[in-house]
A and B are shown apart, each in its own frame.
Chain A
Amino acid sequence: MSRPTSGPVASDPSWGNRSDLDVLNRDIPRVDGPVKATGEAVYTHDVRLPDMLWARVLVHPVPRAEIESIDVEAASEMPGVVHIEALKEPGDAVRYLGDDAVLAVVAAETPDQAADALGAIVVKARRLAPVVTPEQALKEGAPVVSRRRKADSNVGRANERGDEAVADAALAGAVAVVERTFVVPIQHHVCLETHGHVVQPAPDNEQVTVYASTQSVGGTPRGLARTLGRDASKIRVLTPHMGGGFGSKFGPGLEGALAARVANVTGRPVHLMLTRADEFAIAGNRSGSRQKLKVGADSDGRLVGLKLEADKLGGVSGGSLPGPPYIYTVTDGAAVFSKIRSVHTATDGSRAMRAPGHPQASFAMEAAVDELGYLLGMDLVDIRIRNLESAVHHRQLRRVAEEIGWADHPNRDRPGAAVNGRAVGIGFGVSVWGPGGRSSRCDVTVRPDGSVVSATATQDLGTGARTYVAAIVAEELGLTVDMVEARIGDSDLPPSVTSGGSVTTGSSAPAIKDAAHKAREGLEALLTDVLEAPVGSYVWKDGRVSVRGDASRSLPWIAVCALLREPLLAQGEFRDFLHEGRIHGAQAAKVEVDTLTGRVKVLKMVTCQDQGLPLNRLALRSQINGGMVQALSYGLLEQRVFDEQDGFLLSDNLDLYKIAGSQEIPEMVALIDDEDERPSVCGMAEAPVIPGHSAIAGAIHNACGARLTRMPFTADNVLETLYGKI
């Protein structure tokens, strides 16, 4: 259908001078805004196929049990039930509340019939000691819950770094030393669209179609190939829209495998989305931690020694926590000692979640820096700048300090005190991320009728990826965004990356740029005969092409395309020099604490964030705000709650698992760091979620002297920190 761009490439693509950009580095309304705002966007949840079955899974309510029987007979005879299958045999164990606790799958003609059948399955099981807390896991004689075959305890191998004696000696010589134990709870992703798939089976010689709420359209075919008994090339995965992932939706998971299996067995399309309760029980989480952190500083406020002993709490998974010192620098690297281990409980394994491990590390490290500042009588911004190597951090901290009103704040080097039970404080935190980029491809097709398609197998988690897939091409060809059709969310398109760790933009944007540039040069090759200038000497702007320096030699876009006898296909690849590797951010938070009631009200949050060239400033501010909101929610409210006696997951709903709502949201200022003039692009979504809760904790302390060492910062926590536990 198409022919590749002919002729050698005349020049490398470039993002160009920022002052010359007409589309990028501006506010671009997202291209799928209208379908999202009107309910027309079809998510996997919304897929309705003829003859489709509705599937549900049965999750055992407690983490550990021995199955005596799973009786599906009565359920199988209920109206509308087409497929029902127990997934465990008598004598099998439920080892943890996660995918191992899925006991059965049901598929029926209607959602109600599936739910009714689920309720009619009779499970007899002997409940075993739950092992849901680290205390239970570490108790002598505790049942071993690890997924590792030969594990003989619930403690993973400790990762030790540094020389403890050197660190101890440095700390002994420090002028100021802070030692605290920080407790970070487990957080859930709470993707509003739960995990799930719709699988449409097909004969062996045709493609199976799978709608998936996934962060990896490209990886999902491989993930389902074995279950579907066919080569990945015979599986087409579609993710037209998805309702959030945040790191929890990389593979098809058990729910995807079951949907595929039921579709295989029944030969009918199967819709299997987890319920909200299922989602909380088996769809992952951000690991918690306990961190005993000791940090010392010299009289100038330089960090001179650090010791960290930490338990990562990732359920049956390892959990994540970066090694210390987190972001900040200790003058003598040898004086840093850490011992980090995993403590396993019989609970769902942690998964990646937006900057895995980093918010946890930030919570402890920022608190320690604050307190060293107070011990030394140093300004909280000054002590940070003293211990941060990057000049980018320095300017960003000064910028957020200015925006939050730090210069006029009375408590710059010591915590304040409440007046009539009310106190206002300010806190800070910093972030880094190094997403980089990797191999990705994009096809740009220009048709004789002037239409343009930009296609790559990426997915838009809500980040705005779909919009820059079109906008980058529009910029290169002098078009408006609506003149370029973005095609994504389809595994049959040119391959791109799994969206995790902020790698999407750094990987796919260079490939899109490369394709657009090749298309442009392909068109310029046609123009050499018409406008009589060589490739590389044209200006593409406002829907026209003209010869650089001679505006009279010009053609409108539609006339250029009319020169094509067939569609022009330009195939772009990842170009290393178009992407950036490392980003930085700083945040400040201002809070009011009511010391009589324990109410923490966040008054304002500010972020300054760099990311190379901003592709879409509007979506970028959305992402920065989103990071602040999630960090605020994490800090103020979020906590997974298990009943420790019997092991029920109590917070398997949005009543008890509380996320921030509109009335939690303070004034939020998202500052794009335009002093970052790097001529390259970079993903940034992880960074703004890292330090917000740390800044809020610092602000609470700064307001009234209450250093909260555990999260969330709810009234019980504030009041018990201030007045002790009753």
Chain B
Amino acid sequence: MKDFDLKLPENLDAAIGELPAEYTREGAQVLAGGQDIVTVMKDDIEQPAALVSLQRLGLDGIEWDGDGGVTLGATVTVQALADDAGLERAFPALREAAQSIGSPQIRSQATLGGNLNQRPRCPYYRHPSVSCFKKGGSVCLAEFGFNKYAAIFGGGPSYFSHPSDLATVLLMLGATASISGPGGERKVPLAELYVLPEESLETETVLRPDEILTSVTIPAPPAETRSSYLKFKERASYDFALAAVAVSVVLDGSGVVTDARVVLGGVAPKPWEVPAAARALIGKSMGPEAWTAAGAAAVADADPLEHNGYKVHLVKGLVFRALESLA
């Protein structure tokens, strides 16, 4: 790891002032819990001349509005999300996602903002000697190489799958991110936060290099909503998602689905909402038939590579299992 300067700003404006307007591999970057950026720097993927710490900005609050919505500060730890009793009651899927992340050591240090902004886990991207689209190169070696973990949706020209569990569940929950930059603050729905490789290769989000994601607001869920986050890890202990499903359904009194939302994780370069899966559920009774139909609809547009076709089976199964857990 190359050495760098550590900036410890006392306020948000000062922090933003330390960040560069244009991305370069050597430009200053944000440091929150450090659980991803330090690995990125150890692998020489990025070599920022400075890290700008959010440590002193007090962005670690969990604040409820009067209507059942909540705003989560960017430096709230993943462990705090997993432990918070209010979040557990209101957004059980968020808690399930937080609990599924990393390990106790990671959860106690990693932050909400860091999780949403983490970099790809593609083994080519992470390999110090490999050049690829994501590192300013001109090829995606995963496309025709080792692509067992790669995207089956939204790939091209790069085929990594986005690793964030919180992004997947927060998109399903209809959350909005607050982003501050030199021009002030803007609100970006999670559904618009992430970009595909065809839109941008140097970043995975709409954040500009001099912007900081400061918080995420989740609106109150409709009454009678049931939600779940089901993550499939190749290794049960401490692993990223091979695929994940965040799902919510609203049921009427007779068990018929009146509204639904299905978002997939680990299968695309960004959290991947599948409206067709939701449509397959609406108007149906909760049961194996509807779950199977939703699973089939979820993968209808999948476009797998040579070694990740199994994810099509897997997503079908996961959608089924996630819905089954809500019945």
The interface of chain A, by Cβ under 8 A from chain B, is 61-62, 119, 421, 594, 596-599, 601, 636-637, 641-646, 648, 650-653, 655-656, 658, 660-664, 714-716, 719-720, 722-723, 725-726
B89 in the interface (beta carbon within 8 A): no
Which residues of A have CB within 8 Å of B234?
637, 658, 714-715
Q: How far, in whole Å, are A661 and B232 apart by their CA atoms in the complex?
A: 16
A725 in contact with B309 given A643-B146, A648-B130 (CB within 8 Å): yes
Q: How far, in whole Å, are A655 and B307 apart by their CA atoms in the complex?
A: 19
Which residue of the partner chain A has the closest CB to B304? A726
A716 in contact with B310 given A597-B317, A643-B141, A650-B124 (CB within 8 Å): yes
- Output the least CB separation between A638 and chain B (Å): 10
- Output the least CB separation between A487 and chain B (Å): 37
Which residue of the partner chain A has the closest CB to B307? A716
Q: Is the CB of A661 within 8 A of B146?
A: no
Which residues of B have CB within 8 Å of A714?
234
Can you pick out 20 interface pairs between chain A and chain B where the beta carbons lie within 8 Å of each other?
Answer: A62-B129, A598-B310, A598-B317, A637-B234, A637-B235, A641-B146, A643-B130, A643-B141, A643-B145, A648-B129, A648-B130, A650-B146, A658-B234, A660-B237, A661-B235, A715-B234, A715-B314, A716-B307, A722-B313, A726-B304
Q: How far, in whole Å, are A661 and B105 apart by their CA atoms in the complex?
A: 14
Q: Is the CB of A719 within 8 A of B145?
A: no
Q: Is the CB of A658 within 8 A of B235?
A: yes
Q: Is the CB of A656 within 8 A of B123?
A: yes
Which residue of the partner chain A has the closest CB to B232? A597
Count A-B pairs with CB separation below 8 Å.
Answer: 102
Which residues of A have CB within 8 Å of B310?
598, 715-716, 719-720, 725-726
B91 in the interface (beta carbon within 8 A): no
Interface secondary structure of A, over-half rule: loop
Beyond contacts A119-B44, A648-B127: 14 other A-B pairs, Cβ-Cβ < 8 A, are A62-B129, A594-B317, A596-B321, A597-B321, A598-B313, A599-B232, A637-B234, A658-B239, A660-B237, A661-B235, A661-B238, A664-B236, A664-B237, A714-B234
Which residues of B have CB within 8 Å of A664?
235-237
Which residue of the partner chain A has the closest CB to B239? A658
B148 in the interface (beta carbon within 8 A): yes
Q: Is the CB of A643 within 8 A of B237?
A: no
A723 in contact with B317 given A664-B235, A664-B237 (CB within 8 Å): no
Q: Which residues of B182-237 have CB atoms within 8 Å of chain A's CB atoms?
A: 232, 234-237
- Output the least CB separation between B274 and chain A (Å): 17
Q: Which of B44, B237, B310, B316 has most chain A Cβ within 10 Å?
A: B310
Which residues of A have CB within 8 Å of B232?
597, 599, 715
Q: Is the CB of A655 within 8 A of B121?
A: yes
Q: Is the CB of B309 within 8 A of A655?
A: no
- Output the least CB separation between B20 and chain A (Å): 23
B76 in the interface (beta carbon within 8 A): no
- Output the least CB separation between A59 and chain B (Å): 10
Q: Is the CB of A598 within 8 A of B235?
A: no
B312 in the interface (beta carbon within 8 A): yes
Q: How far, in whole Å, are A568 and B145 apart by their CA atoms in the complex?
A: 67
Which residue of the partner chain B has the closest CB to A642? B146
B279 in the interface (beta carbon within 8 A): no
Q: Is the CB of A597 within 8 A of B314?
A: yes
Q: How far, in whole Å, are A722 and B313 apart by their CA atoms in the complex?
A: 10
Q: Is the CB of B145 within 8 A of A596?
A: no
Which residues of A have CB within 8 Å of B304?
726
Which residues of B have CB within 8 Å of A716?
148, 307-308, 310
Partner of B236 from the list A646, A651, A655, A661 (CB cut-off 8 Å) is A661
Q: How far, in whole Å, are A594 and B316 apart by their CA atoms in the complex?
A: 13
- Output the least CB separation between B154 and chain A (Å): 17
Which residues of A have CB within 8 Å of B148?
716
B135 in the interface (beta carbon within 8 A): no
- Output the least CB separation between B288 and chain A (Å): 8
Q: How far, in whole Å, are A641 and B147 apart by their CA atoms in the complex?
A: 11
Q: Is the CB of A655 within 8 A of B146?
A: no
Which residue of the partner chain A has the closest CB to B288? A420
- Output the least CB separation between B63 and chain A (Å): 34
Which residue of the partner chain B has the closest CB to A633? B235
- Output the least CB separation between B297 and chain A (Å): 16
Cβ proximity bits B130-153 to A, threshold 8 Å, 1 near / 0 not: 100000000001001110100000
The interface of chain B, by Cβ under 8 A from chain A, is 2, 44, 121, 123-124, 126-130, 141, 144-146, 148, 232, 234-239, 242, 304, 307-310, 312-314, 316-318, 320-321
Which 8 pairs, one residue from A and one from B, show the smallest C-beta to C-beta distance?
A: A661-B237, A726-B309, A596-B317, A61-B129, A716-B310, A663-B236, A597-B317, A663-B237
- Output the least CB separation between A77 and chain B (Å): 17
- Output the least CB separation between B277 and chain A (Å): 15
Q: How far, in whole Å, are A636 and B312 apart by their CA atoms in the complex?
A: 21
- Output the least CB separation between A717 and chain B (Å): 8
- Output the least CB separation between B266 and chain A (Å): 12
Which residues of B have CB within 8 Å of A715?
232, 234, 242, 310, 314
Which residue of the partner chain A has the closest CB to B152? A726
Q: Is the CB of B141 within 8 A of A645?
A: yes
Q: Is the CB of A643 within 8 A of B317?
A: no
Which residues of B have CB within 8 Å of A637?
234-235
Q: How far, in whole Å, are A405 and B14 apart by their CA atoms in the complex?
A: 66
Q: Which of A596, A653, A658, A662 has most chain B Cβ within 10 Å?
A: A596
Q: How far, in whole Å, are A636 and B123 apart by their CA atoms in the complex?
A: 20
Q: How far, in whole Å, are A515 and B316 apart by their CA atoms in the complex?
A: 67
Q: Which of B121, B145, B313 has most chain A Cβ within 10 Å?
A: B313
Which residues of A have CB within 8 Å of B127?
61, 648, 650, 652
Partner of A650 from the list B2, B44, B123 (CB cut-off 8 Å) is B123
Q: How far, in whole Å, are A650 and B309 apart by their CA atoms in the complex?
A: 21
- Output the least CB separation between A668 and chain B (Å): 15
Which residues of B have CB within 8 Å of A720?
309-310
- Output the least CB separation between A352 and chain B (Å): 26
- Output the least CB separation between B59 and chain A (Å): 28
Q: Is the CB of A646 within 8 A of B238?
A: no
Q: Is the CB of B320 within 8 A of A596?
A: yes
Which residues of B have CB within 8 Å of A598?
310, 313-314, 317
Which residues of B have CB within 8 Å of A594?
317, 321
Which residue of the partner chain B has the closest CB to A277? B128
- Output the least CB separation between B269 and chain A (Å): 19
Q: Is the CB of A421 within 8 A of B124?
A: no
Which residues of A have CB within 8 Å of B308?
716
A646 in contact with B141 given A661-B238, A663-B236, A664-B235 (CB within 8 Å): yes
- Output the least CB separation between A701 and chain B (Å): 18
Which residues of A have CB within 8 Å of B314?
597-598, 715, 719
Q: Is the CB of A723 within 8 A of B235?
A: no
Q: Is the CB of B313 within 8 A of A726?
A: yes
- Output the least CB separation between A248 and chain B (Å): 23
Which residues of A have CB within 8 Å of B126?
653, 655
- Output the least CB separation between B167 and chain A (Å): 19
Which residues of B have CB within 8 Å of A650?
123-124, 127, 146
Which residue of the partner chain B has the closest CB to A720? B310
- Output the least CB separation between B88 and chain A (Å): 21
Q: How far, in whole Å, are A646 and B127 apart by their CA atoms in the complex?
A: 13
Q: How far, in whole Å, are A301 and B321 apart by their CA atoms in the complex?
A: 41
Which residue of the partner chain B has the closest CB to A659? B235
- Output the least CB separation between B44 and chain A (Å): 8
Q: How far, in whole Å, are A203 and B264 apart by their CA atoms in the complex?
A: 66
Which residues of B have CB within 8 Å of A596?
316-318, 320-321
- Output the least CB separation between A644 and chain B (Å): 6
Q: Is the CB of A726 within 8 A of B312?
A: yes
Which residues of A have CB within 8 Å of B312?
726
- Output the least CB separation between A653 and chain B (Å): 8
Which residues of A have CB within 8 Å of B317?
421, 594, 596-598
Q: How far, in whole Å, are A644 and B129 apart by their CA atoms in the complex?
A: 15
Which residues of A have CB within 8 Å of B129?
61-62, 648
Q: Is the CB of B236 within 8 A of A645?
A: no
- Output the least CB separation between A192 and chain B (Å): 16
Q: How far, in whole Å, are A722 and B309 apart by their CA atoms in the complex?
A: 13
Partner of A723 from the list B123, B144, B313 (CB cut-off 8 Å) is B313
